[in-house]
Amino acid sequence: MTRRHLAFALAALTASVSTAFALGVQVGQQRDSRVYELRTYTTNPGRLPALKKRFADHTLKLFERHGMRNEMYWTPTDSTLRDNTLIYVISHDSREAADRNWKAFSADTMWQRVRTASEVDGAILAKPPARVFMQLTEFSPKSPR
């Protein structure tokens, strides 16, 4: 390999490593700086179907529009929770992004119309959602996203 080829290869390697670090990739592993938000909704009696319909028809799309990534959604199998509980995880680029995302989502006139329309038969939630912000551990299996 000539000196010129060696210099070119070194420059290319340096550029690749710099780009990888700028994109959040470390040599040998990918760094995940996303913040995950676990939310638990408790509905008034008989209102879980309305909440699930609102999420399926509108909320997931609105979340994505406001920078929130839909990760997973569950309903419990426990007899005491299965008829009134929705649990889900969404993620954000950072904790600061989460605050911005929720602020923008709350102000979205489409969301306000959807919420109002879904509650014509009464309030859906029995209490405000419980929420916990989380970060992946270094030993957590990473999503291929």
Tell me: pLDDT of 52 over 50.
Answer: yes
Angle at alpha carbon of residue 10, lines to 7 and 11, rounded to 5°: 85
More confident residue, 145 or 22: 145
More confident residue, 54 or 27: 54
Residues 20 and 52 in one domain: no
- In this prediction, residue 143 has a pLDDT band, given cuts at 50, 70 and 90, of low
Q: In sequence order, which residues have a C-beta less than 8 Å from that of residue 58 and are 6 or more positions away?
A: 110, 111, 114
Give the residue-averaged pLDDT of 102-109: 98
Examine residue 58 and state whether it is found in any structural domain, yes or no.
Answer: yes
User: How many domains does one find in the chain?
Assistant: 2
- In this prediction, residue 80 has a pLDDT band, given cuts at 50, 70 and 90, of very high
Examine residue 95 and state whether it is found in any structural domain, yes or no.
Answer: yes
Residues 52 and 115 in one domain: yes
Beta pairing partners, 79: none
Whole-model pTM: value is 0.75
Q: Exposed, middle or buried, 135 (CB in 10 Å: 0-12/13-18/19+)?
A: exposed
Q: How far separated are the first and last CA of the chain, in Å rounded?
A: 38
Examine residue 139 and state whether it is found in any structural domain, yes or no.
Answer: no
Domain extent at residue 55? 32-134
Examine residue 89 and state whether it is found in any structural domain, yes or no.
Answer: yes
pLDDT for the residue numbered 141: 86
pLDDT for the residue numbered 16: 41
Residues 74 and 97 in one domain: yes
**Dist CA 134 CA 33 (whole Å):** 10
Question: Tokens 């070119």 label which residue?
Answer: 8
Residues 44 and 100 in one domain: yes
**CATH code of the domain covering residue 71:** 3.30.70.100
Over the stretch 8-38, which tens digit does the pLDDT of each residue have? Answer: 443 443 444 343 434 443 433 445 679 999 9
Residues 121 and 81 in one domain: yes
